[in-house]
């Protein structure tokens, strides 16, 4: 248990559906991240939120829409996805600076396995 939870753990959705992935961190961190892990490709950073502001959008299509209402919660809203968006979506958190933990050490959740049909 890393202190980062993700729901749901598995999601199957059609291309016309709208769904959301949720991430919650219980570590008191101030930065949160979304990553995508596809088969046979390295983990790709999608979005970074620092102090609840988006500081990185790594050329992600607009059908993925992140939301960070506070430093403990992160959402990824999905709409009109494509089959190639099927992947494991991982959330992570870290402390930007200071604190007791090593700065920028990232802690990951268990992921949401998304299948787009």
Distance between CA atoms of residues 11 and 28, nearest Å: 28
CB count in 10 Å sphere of residue 109: 23
Q: Are 99 and 107 in contact (CB under 8 A)?
A: no
Q: Does residue number 75 form part of the binding site for another protein (CB under 8 A)? A: no
- If the CB atoms of residues 66 and 111 are measured against another protein, the closer one turns out to be 111
Q: Does residue number 113 form part of the binding site for another protein (CB under 8 A)? A: yes
Q: Does residue number 42 form part of the binding site for another protein (CB under 8 A)? A: yes
- In the complex, which residues of this chain contact another protein (CB under 8 A)? 2, 4, 6, 31, 33, 41-45, 48, 50, 56, 88, 90, 92, 94, 96, 102-111, 113
């Amino acid at each position: 248990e890393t202190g980062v939870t993700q729901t749901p753990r598995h999601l199957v959705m059609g291309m016309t559906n709208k769904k959301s992935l949720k991430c919650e961190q219980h570590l008191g961190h101030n930065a949160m991240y979304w990553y995508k892990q596809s088969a046979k490709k390295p983990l790709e950073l999608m979005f970074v939120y620092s102090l609840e502001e988006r500081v990185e959008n790594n050329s992600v299509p607009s059908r993925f829409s992140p939301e960070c209402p506070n430093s403990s919660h992160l959402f990824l809203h999905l709409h009109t996805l494509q089959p190639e968006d099927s992947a494991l979506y991982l959330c992570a958190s870290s402390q930007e600076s200071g604190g007791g933990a090593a700065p920028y050490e990232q802690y990951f959740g268990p992921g949401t396995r998304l299948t787009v049909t």
